[in-house]
Protein backbone atom coordinates (compact mmCIF):
# COMPACT_ATOMS: atom_id res chain seq x y z
CA UNK A 1 0.00 0.00 0.00
CA UNK A 2 1.39 3.40 -0.95
CA UNK A 3 1.53 6.23 1.56
CA UNK A 4 -1.16 8.10 -0.38
CA UNK A 5 -3.55 5.15 -0.58
CA UNK A 6 -3.19 4.56 3.15
CA UNK A 7 -4.06 8.14 3.89
CA UNK A 8 -7.00 7.98 1.50
CA UNK A 9 -8.36 5.07 3.50
CA UNK A 10 -7.95 7.16 6.63
CA UNK A 11 -10.04 9.95 5.19
CA UNK A 12 -12.73 7.65 3.85
CA UNK A 13 -12.90 5.47 6.93
CA UNK A 14 -11.60 6.57 10.31
CA UNK A 15 -12.52 10.18 9.81
CA UNK A 16 -16.16 9.62 8.94
CA UNK A 17 -18.62 11.25 11.33
CA UNK A 18 -19.82 9.06 14.21
CA UNK A 19 -22.70 6.75 13.36
CA UNK A 20 -25.12 8.80 15.44
CA UNK A 21 -24.46 11.82 13.24
CA UNK A 22 -24.82 9.99 9.95
CA UNK A 23 -28.02 9.95 7.94
CA UNK A 24 -30.17 6.85 7.89
CA UNK A 25 -28.80 6.01 4.44
CA UNK A 26 -26.04 7.28 2.20
CA UNK A 27 -26.65 10.65 0.50
CA UNK A 28 -29.99 11.04 2.26
CA UNK A 29 -31.72 14.31 1.47
CA UNK A 30 -31.31 16.89 4.25
CA UNK A 31 -35.08 17.51 4.14
CA UNK A 32 -34.65 21.22 3.56
CA UNK A 33 -36.59 21.91 0.38
CA UNK A 34 -40.30 21.85 -0.35
CA UNK A 35 -39.82 18.52 -2.12
CA UNK A 36 -39.12 16.65 1.11
CA UNK A 37 -40.27 18.93 3.91
CA UNK A 38 -44.03 19.54 4.07
CA UNK A 39 -43.50 22.34 6.59
CA UNK A 40 -41.78 24.56 4.03
CA UNK A 41 -43.96 27.50 3.05
CA UNK A 42 -43.52 29.04 -0.38
CA UNK A 43 -45.17 31.29 -2.92
CA UNK A 44 -45.39 29.91 -6.48
CA UNK A 45 -44.37 32.52 -9.04
CA UNK A 46 -45.56 33.05 -12.59
CA UNK A 47 -42.38 34.94 -13.46
CA UNK A 48 -39.43 33.03 -14.84
CA UNK A 49 -36.75 34.90 -12.89
CA UNK A 50 -36.14 36.24 -9.39
CA UNK A 51 -33.50 38.74 -8.27
CA UNK A 52 -31.81 38.11 -4.93
CA UNK A 53 -29.60 40.74 -3.29
CA UNK A 54 -27.55 40.43 -0.12
CA UNK A 55 -24.17 41.67 1.01
CA UNK A 56 -22.22 42.81 -2.05
CA UNK A 57 -23.81 40.24 -4.36
CA UNK A 58 -26.77 40.22 -6.74
CA UNK A 59 -27.95 36.92 -8.20
CA UNK A 60 -30.71 36.39 -10.75
CA UNK A 61 -32.17 32.88 -10.51
CA UNK A 62 -34.11 31.60 -13.52
CA UNK A 63 -36.12 28.55 -14.50
CA UNK A 64 -35.57 26.91 -17.89
CA UNK A 65 -37.78 29.23 -19.94
CA UNK A 66 -36.32 31.79 -22.35
CA UNK A 67 -36.03 35.29 -20.86
CA UNK A 68 -35.40 38.69 -22.38
CA UNK A 69 -34.92 41.40 -19.75
CA UNK A 70 -32.38 44.26 -19.59
CA UNK A 71 -30.07 42.29 -17.27
CA UNK A 72 -30.38 39.13 -19.39
CA UNK A 73 -31.02 40.02 -23.02
CA UNK A 74 -31.69 36.93 -25.10
CA UNK A 75 -31.25 34.46 -22.27
CA UNK A 76 -31.76 31.03 -23.82
CA UNK A 77 -34.34 28.43 -22.87
CA UNK A 78 -33.05 25.41 -20.98
CA UNK A 79 -30.44 27.15 -18.87
CA UNK A 80 -31.81 27.24 -15.35
CA UNK A 81 -29.95 28.24 -12.21
CA UNK A 82 -28.07 31.47 -11.57
CA UNK A 83 -28.26 33.35 -14.87
CA UNK A 84 -26.47 36.42 -13.53
CA UNK A 85 -23.99 36.83 -10.68
CA UNK A 86 -22.57 40.29 -10.03
CA UNK A 87 -20.71 42.03 -7.21
CA UNK A 88 -20.32 45.62 -6.11
CA UNK A 89 -16.70 45.35 -7.21
CA UNK A 90 -17.66 44.06 -10.68
CA UNK A 91 -20.99 44.86 -12.29
CA UNK A 92 -20.50 42.55 -15.30
CA UNK A 93 -22.03 39.08 -15.16
CA UNK A 94 -19.62 36.31 -14.14
CA UNK A 95 -21.54 33.89 -16.36
CA UNK A 96 -22.14 33.87 -20.09
CA UNK A 97 -25.30 36.04 -20.19
CA UNK A 98 -27.29 33.85 -22.56
CA UNK A 99 -26.74 30.73 -20.43
CA UNK A 100 -26.09 30.27 -16.69
CA UNK A 101 -24.16 29.04 -13.67
CA UNK A 102 -25.00 26.31 -11.15
CA UNK A 103 -27.09 24.92 -13.99
CA UNK A 104 -28.58 21.43 -13.58
CA UNK A 105 -27.84 19.76 -16.92
CA UNK A 106 -27.71 15.97 -17.07
CA UNK A 107 -29.45 12.88 -15.71
CA UNK A 108 -27.84 9.64 -16.88
CA UNK A 109 -26.76 6.11 -16.09
CA UNK A 110 -23.55 6.06 -18.11
CA UNK A 111 -25.19 4.42 -21.14
CA UNK A 112 -26.15 5.69 -24.57
CA UNK A 113 -29.42 3.77 -24.37
CA UNK A 114 -30.36 5.69 -21.24
CA UNK A 115 -29.75 9.06 -22.86
CA UNK A 116 -32.53 9.73 -25.37
CA UNK A 117 -32.28 13.36 -24.21
CA UNK A 118 -28.77 14.56 -23.36
CA UNK A 119 -29.98 17.58 -21.41
CA UNK A 120 -33.09 16.22 -19.73
CA UNK A 121 -33.34 18.86 -16.93
CA UNK A 122 -33.38 21.56 -19.62
CA UNK A 123 -36.30 20.10 -21.53
CA UNK A 124 -39.01 19.64 -18.90
CA UNK A 125 -40.78 22.48 -17.07
CA UNK A 126 -39.59 23.92 -13.80
CA UNK A 127 -41.47 26.09 -11.32
CA UNK A 128 -40.01 28.91 -9.23
CA UNK A 129 -41.02 28.88 -5.58
CA UNK A 130 -40.16 31.91 -3.46
CA UNK A 131 -39.32 31.00 0.12
CA UNK A 132 -38.32 34.46 1.38
CA UNK A 133 -36.49 37.58 0.21
CA UNK A 134 -33.19 35.72 -0.01
CA UNK A 135 -34.26 32.21 -1.01
CA UNK A 136 -35.94 30.60 -4.01
CA UNK A 137 -36.38 27.05 -5.22
CA UNK A 138 -36.55 25.51 -8.67
CA UNK A 139 -38.96 22.61 -8.49
CA UNK A 140 -39.10 20.11 -11.37
CA UNK A 141 -41.79 17.41 -11.51
CA UNK A 142 -40.66 13.94 -12.64
CA UNK A 143 -38.86 14.35 -15.95
CA UNK A 144 -39.94 12.68 -19.19
CA UNK A 145 -37.36 9.92 -19.43
CA UNK A 146 -35.91 9.17 -16.01
CA UNK A 147 -38.89 10.40 -13.98
CA UNK A 148 -36.55 12.16 -11.55
CA UNK A 149 -38.39 14.65 -9.34
CA UNK A 150 -36.14 17.36 -7.93
CA UNK A 151 -35.89 20.67 -6.12
CA UNK A 152 -32.89 22.98 -6.02
CA UNK A 153 -32.81 25.71 -3.36
CA UNK A 154 -30.74 28.85 -3.92
CA UNK A 155 -30.25 30.89 -0.76
CA UNK A 156 -28.16 34.05 -0.51
CA UNK A 157 -26.54 34.02 2.90
CA UNK A 158 -25.81 37.16 4.87
CA UNK A 159 -22.43 37.78 3.21
CA UNK A 160 -23.74 37.09 -0.30
CA UNK A 161 -22.53 33.49 -0.53
CA UNK A 162 -24.95 31.17 -2.36
CA UNK A 163 -25.99 28.03 -0.52
CA UNK A 164 -27.35 25.49 -2.97
CA UNK A 165 -29.29 22.51 -1.65
CA UNK A 166 -30.36 19.88 -4.17
CA UNK A 167 -32.85 17.15 -3.36
CA UNK A 168 -34.29 14.51 -5.67
CA UNK A 169 -36.49 11.44 -5.66
CA UNK A 170 -36.19 8.81 -8.41
CA UNK A 171 -39.71 7.77 -9.39
CA UNK A 172 -38.52 4.90 -11.58
CA UNK A 173 -35.53 2.59 -11.73
CA UNK A 174 -33.79 0.90 -14.66
CA UNK A 175 -30.50 2.81 -14.36
CA UNK A 176 -28.52 0.19 -16.22
CA UNK A 177 -25.13 0.73 -14.55
CA UNK A 178 -26.61 0.78 -11.07
CA UNK A 179 -26.25 4.47 -10.27
CA UNK A 180 -27.90 7.82 -10.94
CA UNK A 181 -25.52 10.31 -12.54
CA UNK A 182 -26.20 14.05 -12.27
CA UNK A 183 -24.21 17.01 -13.59
CA UNK A 184 -24.06 20.80 -13.04
CA UNK A 185 -22.29 23.45 -15.12
CA UNK A 186 -21.23 27.07 -14.66
CA UNK A 187 -20.33 28.83 -17.91
CA UNK A 188 -17.77 31.56 -17.19
CA UNK A 189 -17.75 34.60 -19.46
CA UNK A 190 -14.32 35.29 -20.99
CA UNK A 191 -11.99 34.88 -17.98
CA UNK A 192 -8.33 35.67 -18.54
CA UNK A 193 -7.45 32.22 -17.17
CA UNK A 194 -9.56 29.11 -17.82
CA UNK A 195 -7.93 27.07 -15.05
CA UNK A 196 -9.46 25.79 -11.85
CA UNK A 197 -7.43 25.37 -8.66
CA UNK A 198 -7.77 22.68 -6.01
CA UNK A 199 -5.64 20.86 -3.47
CA UNK A 200 -4.94 17.37 -4.68
CA UNK A 201 -2.45 14.70 -5.66
CA UNK A 202 -1.92 12.01 -8.28
CA UNK A 203 -4.39 9.23 -7.66
CA UNK A 204 -1.77 6.47 -7.87
CA UNK A 205 1.24 8.29 -6.45
CA UNK A 206 2.99 8.88 -3.14
CA UNK A 207 3.15 12.65 -3.36
CA UNK A 208 1.67 14.83 -0.66
CA UNK A 209 -1.28 16.93 -1.81
CA UNK A 210 -0.54 20.41 -3.06
CA UNK A 211 -2.44 23.20 -4.73
CA UNK A 212 -2.87 22.34 -8.41
CA UNK A 213 -3.68 24.51 -11.37
CA UNK A 214 -5.81 22.30 -13.61
CA UNK A 215 -6.28 23.12 -17.30
CA UNK A 216 -7.78 20.62 -19.69
CA UNK A 217 -6.30 20.61 -23.20
CA UNK A 218 -9.69 20.18 -24.87
CA UNK A 219 -13.31 19.38 -24.07
CA UNK A 220 -13.62 15.91 -22.58
CA UNK A 221 -9.91 15.36 -21.88
CA UNK A 222 -8.82 15.05 -18.22
CA UNK A 223 -12.18 16.58 -17.48
CA UNK A 224 -13.14 15.35 -14.02
CA UNK A 225 -11.40 14.95 -10.66
CA UNK A 226 -12.87 12.50 -8.12
CA UNK A 227 -12.55 12.80 -4.34
CA UNK A 228 -9.68 11.08 -2.61
CA UNK A 229 -10.72 7.77 -1.13
CA UNK A 230 -13.71 7.25 -3.40
CA UNK A 231 -14.37 3.51 -3.51
CA UNK A 232 -17.47 3.13 -5.67
CA UNK A 233 -17.05 1.68 -9.15
CA UNK A 234 -18.64 4.08 -11.65
CA UNK A 235 -18.85 2.27 -14.97
CA UNK A 236 -19.45 4.37 -18.07
CA UNK A 237 -20.01 2.63 -21.42
CA UNK A 238 -17.47 3.24 -24.17
CA UNK A 239 -20.04 4.84 -26.47
CA UNK A 240 -21.42 7.20 -23.82
CA UNK A 241 -21.45 10.67 -25.42
CA UNK A 242 -21.14 13.00 -22.39
CA UNK A 243 -17.36 13.25 -22.46
CA UNK A 244 -16.99 15.42 -19.35
CA UNK A 245 -18.48 12.62 -17.24
CA UNK A 246 -16.19 9.74 -18.12
CA UNK A 247 -12.68 11.12 -18.65
CA UNK A 248 -11.09 11.47 -15.20
CA UNK A 249 -7.76 13.19 -14.85
CA UNK A 250 -4.75 11.67 -13.09
CA UNK A 251 -5.58 13.66 -9.95
CA UNK A 252 -7.88 13.29 -6.95
CA UNK A 253 -8.78 16.19 -4.72
CA UNK A 254 -7.85 16.24 -1.03
CA UNK A 255 -10.06 19.11 0.13
CA UNK A 256 -13.68 19.47 -1.06
CA UNK A 257 -13.53 22.84 -2.76
CA UNK A 258 -12.05 24.58 -5.79
CA UNK A 259 -11.93 28.00 -7.36
CA UNK A 260 -11.31 29.88 -10.58
CA UNK A 261 -10.45 33.53 -11.15
CA UNK A 262 -12.08 35.90 -13.64
CA UNK A 263 -11.35 39.62 -13.89
CA UNK A 264 -9.77 39.77 -10.42
CA UNK A 265 -12.78 37.99 -8.86
CA UNK A 266 -12.71 34.46 -7.44
CA UNK A 267 -15.56 32.01 -7.81
CA UNK A 268 -15.15 29.34 -5.13
CA UNK A 269 -17.29 26.20 -5.04
CA UNK A 270 -17.33 24.41 -1.67
CA UNK A 271 -18.78 20.98 -0.95
CA UNK A 272 -19.41 18.56 1.90
CA UNK A 273 -17.02 15.61 2.06
CA UNK A 274 -19.92 13.26 2.76
CA UNK A 275 -21.52 14.03 -0.62
CA UNK A 276 -18.56 12.74 -2.70
CA UNK A 277 -18.94 15.40 -5.38
CA UNK A 278 -16.62 15.10 -8.40
CA UNK A 279 -15.05 18.29 -9.75
CA UNK A 280 -15.28 18.81 -13.50
CA UNK A 281 -14.19 21.33 -16.11
CA UNK A 282 -14.08 22.18 -19.81
CA UNK A 283 -11.99 24.87 -21.53
CA UNK A 284 -14.79 25.66 -23.97
CA UNK A 285 -18.09 24.44 -22.51
CA UNK A 286 -19.70 27.87 -22.86
CA UNK A 287 -18.25 28.60 -26.29
CA UNK A 288 -14.93 29.97 -27.45
CA UNK A 289 -13.13 31.59 -24.54
CA UNK A 290 -15.86 30.58 -22.09
CA UNK A 291 -14.81 27.65 -19.88
CA UNK A 292 -17.19 25.57 -17.81
CA UNK A 293 -16.37 25.14 -14.11
CA UNK A 294 -18.54 22.18 -13.21
CA UNK A 295 -19.25 19.34 -10.81
CA UNK A 296 -21.03 16.00 -10.91
CA UNK A 297 -22.63 13.63 -8.43
CA UNK A 298 -23.31 9.90 -8.46
CA UNK A 299 -25.93 8.07 -6.40
CA UNK A 300 -25.00 4.37 -6.37
CA UNK A 301 -27.30 1.69 -5.01
CA UNK A 302 -30.29 4.01 -5.24
CA UNK A 303 -33.82 3.05 -4.24
CA UNK A 304 -36.90 4.20 -6.13
CA UNK A 305 -38.96 6.57 -3.99
CA UNK A 306 -36.10 7.43 -1.65
CA UNK A 307 -35.00 11.08 -1.29
CA UNK A 308 -31.36 11.99 -1.91
CA UNK A 309 -29.57 15.30 -1.65
CA UNK A 310 -26.42 17.34 -1.16
CA UNK A 311 -25.47 20.82 0.01
CA UNK A 312 -22.79 23.12 -1.40
CA UNK A 313 -21.88 26.80 -1.33
CA UNK A 314 -20.53 29.19 -3.95
CA UNK A 315 -18.73 32.40 -3.03
CA UNK A 316 -18.00 35.26 -5.43
CA UNK A 317 -15.43 37.61 -3.97
CA UNK A 318 -12.53 39.89 -5.01
CA UNK A 319 -9.33 37.88 -5.37
CA UNK A 320 -5.94 38.88 -4.03
CA UNK A 321 -4.23 35.55 -3.44
CA UNK A 322 -4.90 32.05 -2.18
CA UNK A 323 -4.36 32.91 1.48
CA UNK A 324 -6.94 35.70 1.29
CA UNK A 325 -9.43 33.34 -0.39
CA UNK A 326 -8.86 30.70 2.27
CA UNK A 327 -9.71 33.26 4.94
CA UNK A 328 -12.81 34.46 3.08
CA UNK A 329 -14.15 30.92 2.64
CA UNK A 330 -13.05 29.42 5.96
CA UNK A 331 -16.32 29.88 7.83
CA UNK A 332 -18.33 28.38 4.98
CA UNK A 333 -16.07 25.38 4.63
CA UNK A 334 -16.33 24.86 8.38
CA UNK A 335 -20.12 25.12 8.25
CA UNK A 336 -20.24 22.45 5.56
CA UNK A 337 -17.72 20.05 7.08
CA UNK A 338 -16.90 21.00 10.67
CA UNK A 339 -13.30 20.21 11.63
CA UNK A 340 -13.09 17.87 8.65
CA UNK A 341 -13.05 20.94 6.38
CA UNK A 342 -9.37 21.43 7.12
CA UNK A 343 -8.13 17.85 7.01
CA UNK A 344 -5.69 17.10 4.24
CA UNK A 345 -3.76 14.08 3.12
How big, in percent rounded to 5, are the helix, strand and coil portions of the chain?
A: 10, 40, 50
Q: Answer whether residue 82 is part of any domain.
A: yes
Q: What is the pLDDT of residue 341?
A: 60
Collapsed DSSP state (helix, strand, coil) of residue 121: helix
Residue 316 lies in domain = 3-15+25-342
Q: What is the pLDDT of residue 189?
A: 98
Q: Answer whether residue 154 is part of any domain.
A: yes
- Whole-number Å distance between alpha carbons of 275 and 296: 10
Q: Answer whether residue 296 is part of any domain.
A: yes
Q: What is the pLDDT of residue 206?
A: 83
Q: Answer whether residue 20 is part of any domain.
A: no
Q: What is the pLDDT of residue 2?
A: 44
- Whole-number Å distance between alpha carbons of 21 and 30: 12
Show Cβ contacts of residue 203 under 8 Å, excluding neighbours closer than 6 positions: 226, 228, 250, 251, 252
Q: Answer whether residue 335 is part of any domain.
A: yes
Q: What is the pLDDT of residue 344?
A: 54
Cα dihedral sign for 146, 106, 94, 196? positive
Q: What is the pLDDT of residue 296?
A: 98
CATH code, domain carrying 218: 2.70.98.90
Show Cβ contacts of residue 166 under 8 Å, excluding neighbours closer than 6 positions: 104, 150, 151, 152, 153, 182, 309, 310, 311
pLDDT values of the chain reduced to their tens digit, one per residue, 345 residues: 444 444 434 344 333 343 333 457 999 999 999 999 999 999 999 999 999 999 999 999 999 999 999 999 999 999 999 999 999 999 999 999 999 999 999 999 999 999 999 999 999 999 999 999 999 999 999 999 999 999 999 999 999 999 999 999 999 999 999 999 999 999 999 999 999 999 999 998 888 999 999 999 999 899 999 999 998 989 999 999 999 999 999 999 999 999 999 999 999 999 999 999 999 999 999 999 999 999 999 999 999 999 999 999 999 999 999 999 999 999 999 999 986 666 554
Q: Answer whether residue 245 is part of any domain.
A: yes
Show Cβ contacts of residue 339 under 8 Å, excluding neighbours closer than 6 positions: none
Q: How many domains does the chain have?
A: 1
Q: Answer whether residue 108 is part of any domain.
A: yes
pTM: 0.92
Q: Answer whether residue 201 is part of any domain.
A: yes
Amino acid sequence: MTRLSGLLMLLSGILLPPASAQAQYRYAAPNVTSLTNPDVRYTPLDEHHVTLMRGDVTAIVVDNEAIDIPQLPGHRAGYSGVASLTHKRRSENLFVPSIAGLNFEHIHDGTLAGLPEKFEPRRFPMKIRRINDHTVELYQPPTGNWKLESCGRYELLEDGTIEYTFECIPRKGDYRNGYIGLFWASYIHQPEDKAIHFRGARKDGDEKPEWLRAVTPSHGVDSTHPPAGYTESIHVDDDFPLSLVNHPSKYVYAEPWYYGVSHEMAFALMFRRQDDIWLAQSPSGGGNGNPAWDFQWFIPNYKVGRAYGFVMRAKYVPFEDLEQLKRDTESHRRDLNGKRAFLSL
